[in-house]
Amino acid sequence: MEKNYYLVLKKLKIFSSHKIHLPDTLNLNLHSQSAFQRQLLKEKRRAERLNTKSSILIFDYSIYLSKNENNSNSTVEDILSSVCINLRDTDVVSPYNDNSIIILLPDTDNASAQMVSNRIVNTIISKDMHSDENTSEYFQLEILSYP
């Protein structure tokens, strides 16, 4: 599992050279990628010291945006606000690439991270009047838990 954490860090360093555009009107407390990297390493050390679990949720919504661009009211702002209302103050959110974000969930095991991801998807779907039962397949989620 430790290898996966370092893989995420490596990918974050690659993406940190790309400019990611997020709407300026949002007040969602998104962290920069360098701040996320610092917090991730800090949380990794804390989890080892206290023998607790933490998880990372990589949430890609690009398929959802492309499938629903003509018949959906959901925008990037709606998706990001749906993500943030399902998180705690201790969770750390950062852009990952153009249409995905990465979320650090301290003190969260894999099963709890799965519940968080389900709540996020259900919140987005409930706001979308044109969604159908297959809408949840339009999101790509990856959960990594440590240790």
Cα–Cα nearest to 56, from 141, 127, 125: 141
**What pTM value is reported for the model?**
0.76
Q: How confident is the model at residue 20 (pLDDT cuts 50, 70, 90)?
A: very low
Q: Residue 8's pLDDT is what? A: 56
Q: Residue 4's pLDDT is what? A: 58
Q: How confident is the model at residue 37 (pLDDT cuts 50, 70, 90)?
A: confident
pLDDT in tens, 53-66: 999 999 888 887 77
Q: Name residue 2's amino acid.
A: E
**Within 13 Å of residue 61, how many CA atoms lie on the same side as its CB?**
24
Chain-centre distance for alpha carbon 9: 15
Q: Residue 1's pLDDT is what? A: 46
Q: How confident is the model at residue 81 (pLDDT cuts 50, 70, 90)?
A: confident
Phi-psi region of 48 (alpha: psi -120 to 50; beta: other; left: phi over 0): alpha
- In angstroms, what CA-CA distances link 137 with 31, 61, 97? 27, 10, 20
Q: Residue 13's pLDDT is what? A: 44
Chain-centre distance for alpha carbon 97: 11
Task: For residue 47, give both structure tokens.
Answer: 């989890």
Mean predicted confidence (pLDDT) in 122-139: 72
